[in-house]
Amino acid sequence: MRRRAPLPLLEKVEIIDVGAEGKAIARFENRVVFVPWAAPGDLVDIQVTRKKQQHYEGKVVKYHAFSALRVEPFCSHYGLCGGCKWQHLSYADQLQFKQKQVFDQFSRIGKFAFPEPFPILASPKTIFYRNKLEFTFSDFKWLTGEKFDKNEMNERNLNGLGFHLPGLFDRIVDIDHCYLQPDPSNAIRNFIRDFAIKTGITFYNVKKQQGYLRNLIIRDSSEGDLMVILIVQSEQPALLESIMEKVKTQFPAITSLMYAINPKGNDDISDLEVHLFSGKDHMIETMDGLSFKVGPKSFYQTNRQQALELYRTTRSFAALTGKERVYDLYTGTGTIANFLAREAKEVLGIEYVESAINDAVTNSTRNGITNTRFFSGDMAKVLNADFILSMGAPDVIITDPPRAGMHTKVVEQILTAAPQRIVYVSCNPATQARDIALMDSVYRVDKVQPVDMFPHTHHVENVVLLLHRESGTK
């Protein structure tokens, strides 16, 4: 059997850029090298970990010089937790790289004509900006800086509650203090972990699929609501009661204390019943004079302040006069649909998840909005010629698909519907550019507005206005 050649060590390589997925970029002998945690201007030695035809992937094993762009990371978990990988860059530099990411994706993938993107809309908050976090319990937390033999490892308490290590499904970083969600998020998480360890409640082992405590979700709202959802592996009423009562007593600010039982092999709770232990079964969010009911499984933008800017941009690009029929594709819980309804003749929202559609209807009703209609089902099947014929052709289409972008059948139906305007909201400029390229013969890009929803990460939202080439600017 032929032995594989060892992967090379690349010495004194300069980091020259940041890539679309947040990894830093270097070049070595005409080959691109992707490296996490580095900054443009670093001079480093890179151990290649994966060799592809067109590129290398690697990790920094030695720094010879540090980039002038570097700043001191503020979180003690930086370098392990994958949540805020760009802490070593100033926020101003992060914004520049995100702006460049949109331009590069449109230029390299889309290859269509587009105007200079507007300056990215910065987030007013760069820490404590999230209104939802999900943590994972594990009986095998990641240990750093210490070495133990097997016997010592067996005797140590390895229970932890935190986030998955990047690329490792079975290991978590035990989080002490997270800068993503405001208090009392940290206090609640740490209290439940410490109480469980003290009382001997078992933490989940994903490989063995054993252990009682699985996940913890904490949500808060602009109206002061606080929702805590504990996910456990099996029905043990007395044990569950003891935990929930302790949490309820310790944190009277919790307005919705809930739980779900998940015996499955995955952490998804969308198909599980969420039970109310105490308080109310929802939170209330307000935005631009609208009130939204948010349940335990409802989607709501996690950076609420930037969500308002995102929706304002969408509304501005739609340029509604009160006479338009609007299709809101991938409507979710109808937030954008209800946000636009006051300025449209009618808004039709389509979404795959039926429970989300129920939330959308509820939110229209609670706001006295009567010109919305919502439909659930597979977008590629619901949005067809019969639907357009029976509902009437749209004047404006809003589309806000998941990261994978739109199915080609959906793109084809949009072209058939031929609205005057398309406002394409995306969390992935790469798939957005791919989809726009498919419409380039019929639609031209008129405006591009990046929005930063997630500081200290590479993620960027992008809103694009497309105008029908034969309809002018109407």
Using 50, 70 and 90 to split pLDDT, how confident is the model at 472? low
Q: Which residue do the tokens 């739980």 mark? A: 259
Phi and psi of 419, rounded to 5°?
A: -70, 160
Cβ atoms within 10 Å, residue 243: 21
Neighbours of 93 (CB within 10 A): 18
Among 248-257, 292-301, 359-368, the least confident range: 292-301
Task: Let me know if 424 is exposed, middle or buried by CB neighbors in 10 A (0-12, 13-18, 19+).
Answer: buried
Q: Which CATH architecture has domain 95-125+303-468?
A: 3-Layer(aba) Sandwich (3.40)
* pLDDT at residue 152, rounded to an integer: 45
1-70 and 95-125+303-468 agree in CATH topology: no
The answer, yes or no, to whether residue 213 has pLDDT greater than 80, is: yes
Where are the domains positioned within the chain?
1-70, 95-125+303-468, 132-284
pLDDT tens digits, one per residue of 116-158: 999 999 999 999 999 999 999 999 898 764 444 444 444 457 9
Residue 229, token pair as written in the block: 């959802």
Give dist(CA 432, CA 76) in Å, integer: 35
Provide the CATH topology of domain 132-284.
Answer: OB fold (Dihydrolipoamide Acetyltransferase, E2P) (2.40.50)
User: Token pair 């994958």 is at which residue?
Assistant: 82
75 is catalytic: no
CATH class of 1-70: mainly beta
Model confidence at 260, pLDDT cuts 50, 70, 90, reads very high
Of the candidates 75, 81, 84, 427, the residue annotated as catalytic is 427
pLDDT at position 5 is 74
